[in-house]
Amino acid sequence: MLFQALDQNNWIPDELHLMLRISDVLFQCLFYELMKHKDFANNVQPMIITEMKRLHIHFEFYLPTTKNGKWEWTSLMGPDKKKILKEFQVAHLFGRQSTRGQEIEQLWREFYRLYKIIRQKSITDLEIDHANQQQGMYLRTDVSPYMHVFAQHVSQFMRYLNQKGMVLRYFSTSSIEKKNHQQVRLFFGGTRMGGGKSKKPVVHDILYYENRQLYYQMQDTPIRYTRKSIEIKT
């Protein structure tokens, strides 16, 4: 138990971050495994980029900035991660004679299926009992706290909520995350991302900017005006 002071019936894991953080680990494990191949830069990397383009996802790899550094890649948003888990073809990256790619692809599809189950508006105990995870794919050191909660506790939480007539998606923070994303895009879309000369925290500037917008909306204040010129004839 991670937090012994809290009763497990009072835990509510966020389904959005379960998907985001677990998919991060799954993608990282795949990429690091492929990077061990000598032909990664010349052959494997272009295959990954091509597959991402097929899914209409912008994706790039970045060379290590230091001698012993590691490759980095584009940070993906939730919808793109779900599309990759559902449709990305992993098998062909390992060659036709290897079953490794097929096993990883099956793991991704199964995780996506389980994620869709916990996102349902209603669920039965039978569906909860049939949810299972595939073991033995990676090392124990690859397992994150989110993976532990997903494998060991989510079904328990879902049964408890089911008794109360509730489901896990009621407690999702996806709307909050979307709001935060919209705030940041709106603010940085209208200002310089360097922060200018302001010494105040960025979050202060974002909230100040939004409060002004709310005030204008509530007071029905126009945010634009048309300058009119008056020509006086003498």
Type of residue numbered 47: M
- Domain end point (choices 149, 171, 193): 171
What is the residue range of 197's domain? 174-218
Q: 44 by DSSP, 3-state: which?
A: helix
166 and 180 assigned to the same domain: no
Distance CA 147, CA 2 (A): 13
Q: What is the DSSP string of 72-138?
A: EEPPPPHHHHHHHHHH---GGGS-TT-SHHHHHHHHHHHHHHHHHHHT-SS--HHHHHT-----SSS
Residue 4 pLDDT > 50, yes or no? yes
Q: Are residues 185 and 163 in the same domain?
A: no
pTM, 2 dp = 0.72
**81 within a domain of the structure (yes/no):** yes
- pLDDT for res 88: 96
The answer to whether residue 132 scores a pLDDT higher than 80 is no
pLDDT in tens, 154-194: 888 888 888 888 888 888 777 777 777 676 666 665 444 44
Domain identity same for 108 and 48 = yes
Neighbouring C-alpha atoms within 13 Å toward the C-beta of 217: 6
* Tens digits of residue pLDDT in 70-97: 889 998 988 999 999 999 999 989 877 7
Residue 226 located in a structural domain: no
- CB of 144 closer than 8 Å to CB of 8: no
Residue 158, pLDDT score: 84
Q: Residue 188: count other Cβ atoms within 10 Å of its Cβ.
A: 13
Segment holding 62, helix H or strand E: strand 61-62
Percent of the chain with pLDDT over 90: 28
